Structure 1
Amino acid sequence: MTVAELKEYLTAGRHVHLIGIGGVSMFPLAEVLKRAGLVVTGSDIHENANVDHLIAQGIPVTLGHRPENIRGADLVIRTAAVHDDNPEIQAAHTAGIPVFERAQAWGAIMMDYRHAVCVSGTHGKTTTTSMCAHIAMAAGTDPTIMIGGNLPLLGAGYRVGNGDTIILESCEYCNSFLSFRPTTAVILDIEEDHLDFFKDLADIEHSFRTFANLVPENGIVIANADDRNTMDTLDGIDRPFITFGLGNYADIYCSEPVWEKGLPTFDLYQGERFVCTISLTIPGLHNVKNALAAAATALHMGIDPKFIAQGLNSYHGAERRFEYKGELNGAKIYDDYAHHPGEIHVLLQTAKSLGYQRVICAFQPHTYSRTKALFDDFVQELQLADLTLLAEIYPAREVNTIGISSKDLAAKIPNAEYYPTFAELEARLRQLARPGDLILTVGAGELDQVSNALVKKTTKNECNSSAQI
């Protein structure tokens, strides 16, 4: 069924059952549906903090998947991890109860909002969505927010508001963002990624173009003028769009940033009009671009420039986005989610610009398919560090049918070392750490366990998300 058909089902009083309700983007969905007046139940395999939270909100959750769990449901929504052989899915099909995907549900929900902001792109989605959230909160719009990482401002990765604005991080993997219904579609950049699903760059660009075309005629596409793939993708599109960039060739742009201790200050312009001055508390030219995207979104929504400045100036980073962890033997420890060669390039360039004597990068590649497809790029970009320590590949959803290992990367990268276990990697970092070092744990897997262990075993302080440059 389509998103529009699902919208007809999501009316007050209907009973919706969520399978995998404890998932990171499912439990906020449950709250939103409950607030809309639906009767919400759910099931999950394991009890976790999300499940406990929902139960406290009065939403019944059953542990384990059984056919009887869907009794009385008018419709079922499932997470992507739940397949057709699930007993509850099979029972729904037998009973003629419609089954929808999680992304479809979010798409249907967006149709009730005046401003439905979807932030997409290969890189920078979490940071830019978080910046949009900061601005919207500063402006008092009472937004609903869904982010792919925890944001200290929210104390979580989501917020259920009562205003007319919804802001969602929107991922292209498996074309999930094509189920969304944005009024504002932000495209930050486009590169080859998720090649276990997409055939090539052209396939990815086609997906993003389709995403942009989801915007209604009275909506807007906000695009990165500095990213050639994005501009090529949008060439000739029949939807209104504006651009952001580092120069006045873009609709929304900035003056040359002034850098102090690695942090940028710049003036924001819309055409010839000065908008406001922004001083970021996070480093990197890439974050100037992310801020421009968030500012362009806010300007289109009619948000006062003073709230744009207030929101961006108060943003100190999201979890696992150049997140400061603490110190070890005088070395500064940071963690970052970068898992694509383009992201690693930007991360290590930024780290090298901060004046440390050495930049030590501990990296865990994410998925065998990505490591194989982008192998040469990983080899090139990881050489930017003074020393690279490689953990074994994080498999995520994959089985290693390719026969690839992080050891293969280490063999090609000068000044690289391979450690098959986290314990060995942690021990090596303890041995290396000294004053003047910046130590990065990098990747979308579980390598943050190492940075957490280094800090917790050496200090009494918990993690601090603010950059301690």
Structure 2
Amino acid sequence: MKIFFIGIGGIAMGNLAYMLKSIGHEVSGSDLNLYPPMSDKLKEWGFEPKSGFQKENVHGYDLVIVGNSISRGNPELEEVLNSGMEYMSLPQAISHFFLKKKKVIVVAGTHGKTTTTFLIYHILKEAGLSPGLFVGGIQKDGHPGFNLGEGEYFVIEGDEYDSAFFDKSSKFLHYRPYYLLLTSLDFDHADIFPNIDAIKTMFKRLLNLVPSNGKVFYWQGSENLREICHDYQLSPIEAYRINTQDSIFKIEDGSICLQNGERFYSGLMGEHNLLNTEVALRLCQTILPGETNLVRYASNFPGVKRRQEIRFQSNDTIFVEDFAHHPVAILETIKAVRFSFSGFKVISLFEPRSATSHRSVFQEEFAKCFSGSDACLITEVFNVNKVPQEMRLNVPKLIETIPQYSRTKAIYCESPQDLLEKLQNLISEYSHEKIIVLGMSNGAFGGIYPEIDEILKNRKRV
């Protein structure tokens, strides 16, 4: 089949294009702008994408995959509609080509999806099951976010964001869950969801898709998940926590232990990642009840790039990069870093960039979530013209409000470059201290991370 991708430059779209090419389809695509790393990957995989959108590009293809950033008025999309060509969204295509007759493990939730999806895949792969994989990230060892797999299981990150211009329902509704893991449920994606109830509706619809011989796992600590799972009876359902009698993990004297008291070592930091590991192991125990090495497989999981990724570390200076952009994720990430590196001053850097974080919807929550930091530097919102001023996160006001909730030193930065200069001054103030710099953004943060790497590598503690 000849398949064309409108918007091939996105990570998920590019990965799917390569998967389809790998099973024998003739695949091409286009995009307005192509950037590394996907531009490099597409070249490596033998693609030569069209630059820009021209209606002639789609001629002669059997199927068109439409990215969710593509809207009416796009010349290629208009040609597809006018000529009656067959088209699909990305989640439809994944389901159609790769999920049929598979036992699909869907990991959904506001936080922890990527890490938990990769972790489950890693454990099942180590156990010899050869699962399939589709997830929006890259492992720290370089493993990409996809794998065809030869076994009966397919592990996929269940994104609640919408599917395409013609399908405003969540992507995860296309993924045929056999096992469903719900890690959390908070308000997010303010650009498409008016309130938390709209998101709950999507999650309820997802629950309704699990077959009676499947199973649901949900985090009992989430009030929203408890609400939507309260009267669910369509399949077996299991709530999970840590530090309970039936949990795999418990925390004793600051150490993570199994129920038998054995110390558990993991490269993942924080209680939120312990919860991710808990549910991953519960699922894998359900699939492989006689396997005794599951905990060992989990302990050697390499982790995910841009999730608590240590970019630089010396005895007294550490630089960690993280994808956190939601107040809950920021709070938990700071807690995790402080717990893991006792005795270090924590300097948090934040770029409000996501569709939700640059809006005022979390104005008060952002003021509270940096309380675990000794200092925080926050830039003006990315792309200030994207939302009207009255709907935009007021960063100067946020900086004024943070000290009302904590002793954190809050510093306003006009831009990433301004942040870089102010960070150097702050590092000088902490010349006698051990410091950890924690950068948080769902984007490139103005490309300043390599410069921070060099600053910290050359830091001399007095």
Match of 1:157 among 145, 152, 156: 145
Map 1:75-94 to 2 at 5 A: 75-94=63-82
Runs of 4+ in 1 over 6 A off after TM superposition: none
CA contact (8 A) 2:325 2:354 kept: no
* Aligned-partner SS, 2:136: strand
CA contact (8 A) 2:29 2:50 kept: yes
**For residues 20 and 305 of structure 1, do their structure 2 counterparts lie closer, same or farther at Cα, with a shift above 3 Å needed?**
same
**Most deviating of 62-71 and 377-386:** 62-71
Match of 1:239 among 225, 235, 238: 235
Match of 2:13 among 17, 22, 26: 26
**Most deviating of 325-334 and 169-178:** 325-334
Q: 1:80 offset after TM fit, Å?
A: 0.7
- Residue matched to 1:338: 324
Tell me the matched-pair count: 437
Amino acid at match of 1:185: L
- Give the Cα separation in 2 of the matches to 1:213 and 1:397: 39
Identity across aligned pairs (percent)? 25
Q: 1:243 offset after TM fit, Å?
A: 2.6
**Most deviating of 301-310 and 102-111:** 301-310
Gaps of 5+ in 1: 1-13, 269-273, 461-469
CA contact (8 A) 2:108 2:158 kept: yes
* Aligned-partner SS, 1:231: helix
- Give the Cα separation in 1 of the matches to 2:332 and 2:392: 29
CA contact (8 A) 2:350 2:378 kept: yes
**For residues 56 and 325 of structure 1, do their structure 2 counterparts lie closer, same or farther at Cα, with a shift above 3 Å needed?**
closer
* Aligned-partner SS, 2:64: strand
Q: 1:107 offset after TM fit, Å?
A: 2.6
Match of 1:360 among 315, 340, 347: 347
Map 1:36-47 to 2 at 5 A: 36-47=23-34
Q: 1:229 offset after TM fit, Å?
A: 1.7
- Residue matched to 1:182: 177
- Residue matched to 1:465: none
- 1:124 equivalent in alignment to 2:112: yes
- Residue matched to 1:428: 422
- Residue matched to 2:394: 405
- Residue matched to 2:271: 285
Amino acid at match of 1:167: V
- Give the Cα separation in 1 of the matches to 2:48 and 2:253: 52
**For residues 303 and 454 of structure 1, do their structure 2 counterparts lie closer, same or farther at Cα, with a shift above 3 Å needed?**
farther
Amino acid at match of 1:439: V
- Give the Cα separation in 1 of the matches to 2:416 and 2:47: 39
**For residues 259 and 76 of structure 1, do their structure 2 counterparts lie closer, same or farther at Cα, with a shift above 3 Å needed?**
farther
Match of 2:281 among 295, 300, 313: 295
**For residues 131 and 176 of structure 1, do their structure 2 counterparts lie closer, same or farther at Cα, with a shift above 3 Å needed?**
same
What's the TM-score once normalised by structure 2's chain length?
Answer: 0.86
CA contact (8 A) 2:317 2:434 kept: yes
Q: 1:457 offset after TM fit, Å?
A: 5.0
**For residues 410 and 98 of structure 1, do their structure 2 counterparts lie closer, same or farther at Cα, with a shift above 3 Å needed?**
same
CA contact (8 A) 1:360 1:388 kept: yes
- Give the Cα separation in 2 of the matches to 1:255 and 1:367: 33
- Residue matched to 2:406: none
- 1:264 equivalent in alignment to 2:260: no
**For residues 255 and 179 of structure 1, do their structure 2 counterparts lie closer, same or farther at Cα, with a shift above 3 Å needed?**
closer
Q: 1:123 offset after TM fit, Å?
A: 1.0
Q: 1:417 offset after TM fit, Å?
A: 0.9
What's the TM-score once normalised by structure 1's chain length?
Answer: 0.85
CA contact (8 A) 1:259 1:265 kept: no
**For residues 386 and 115 of structure 1, do their structure 2 counterparts lie closer, same or farther at Cα, with a shift above 3 Å needed?**
same
- Give the Cα separation in 1 of the matches to 2:290 and 2:441: 37
CA RMSD in angstroms, aligned pairs only: 2.7
CA contact (8 A) 2:15 2:145 kept: no
- Give the Cα separation in 2 of the matches to 1:312 and 1:396: 42
**For residues 167 and 395 of structure 1, do their structure 2 counterparts lie closer, same or farther at Cα, with a shift above 3 Å needed?**
farther
1:142-182 per-residue CA deviation (whole Å, 9 max, x = no partner) reads 23222222212343333333333221112212322222222
Q: 1:209 offset after TM fit, Å?
A: 1.2
Gaps of 5+ in 2: 163-169, 404-408
Q: 1:304 offset after TM fit, Å?
A: 5.3
- Give the Cα separation in 2 of the matches to 1:454 and 1:227: 36
